[in-house]
Amino acid sequence: MKSPAAATGPGPRERLILLTIAAVLAGAVIWLRGGLHPQAPLEALARRSPEMSVALANGRPTIVEFYADWCEACRSMAPALDAVESRQHDRLNVVLLNVDNPRWQPEIDRYGVNGIPHLELFDRSGTTVGRSIGARSRPELDSLAAALIDGQPLPVLGGVGAISSLDPGEAAEGATTIRAAASPVTPRSHG
C-alpha cells in the first residue's frame, strides 16, 4: 500500500532540493561556457570580421590575424585585439582568418603562415607592409594600429618586420637562399 505523499508526488522539501540542484547545474553550465556572453572575444571578433577582399579595398589600413580556435595564444590576445578593433573600427579593419578552415588555404600559402597567431599588416592601399608572429600585448597592438593608421613605420618589436619586395632572383651575391623543406610546415603541423 502506497502512502498518500507518494501518490501525490514530491513534497515541498523535495521540490526545493530539486530546484536547488537545477539552479546549481544551470549556474555551472553558464560558468563553463564563459558567463552570460554567448561568445568569447575571439569568436565575437571573428564573426564581426569583414571579408578580407572588402577590407583591403575600402581605403583603411588592415590587420589580418591568422588564428585557430584551439590556439591559447590567439585566445589570450583576443581581448586586446577586440579592444583595438572597438576603438578604431572606423579607421582600421581587423580581419580574422581561421587556419583550420580550408577556405583560407590560398591566403595561408600566400602569406607564408607557418605559426599562429600571425598578423599580416596592410596599409590603406591594401599593400602588405609588415607582419607580426606570436602573441601581442594590448600596448603592442595599439602601437601597430597607430602606425598603420598614421601611415608611419611599424614599431620595433620582437617578431615584427617589414615585408621585403626583393625578388629571390635579385638576391645579392653571397646571400643565403632558404629552400623549401621537403614536407611543408603549416600552422597545423605543430599540433
Average pLDDT over residues 53-73: 95
With bands split at pLDDT 50, 70 and 90, how would you rate the model's confidence at 12?
Answer: confident
Encode pLDDT of 93-126 as tens digits.
Answer: 999 999 999 999 999 999 999 999 999 999 999 9
Q: Which three-class secondary structure state does DSSP give residue 89?
A: coil
**pLDDT above 90 covers what percent of the chain?**
57
Q: CB burial class (10 A; 0-12, 13-18, 19+) of residue 119?
A: buried
Contact 70, 40 (CB under 8 A): no
Residue 9 CB coordination number (10 Å): 8
For residue 146, which of 163, 165, 121 has the smallest C-alpha distance? 121
| Residue with the three cell numbers 614536407 | 183
Encode pLDDT of 132-172 as tens digits.
Answer: 999 999 999 999 999 999 999 998 887 676 655 444 444 34
Concerning whether 74 is annotated as a catalytic residue, the answer is yes
Contact 160, 130 (CB under 8 A): yes
Concerning whether 173 is annotated as a catalytic residue, the answer is no
Structural domains in the chain plus CATH codes: 41-164 (3.40.30.10)
Which residues, 6 or more positions from 30, have their beta carbon under 8 angstroms from its beta carbon? 36
Model-wide pTM > 0.75: no
Q: Which of 42, 68, 74, 99 is catalytic?
A: 74
Which residues, 6 or more positions from 47, have their beta carbon under 8 angstroms from its beta carbon? 39
Statement: residue 91 has pLDDT above 80: yes
The DSSP H or E segment spanning 140 is: helix 138-150
With bands split at pLDDT 50, 70 and 90, how would you rate the model's confidence at 26?
Answer: confident
- Please list the residues that pair with 63 across neighbouring strands: 94, 121
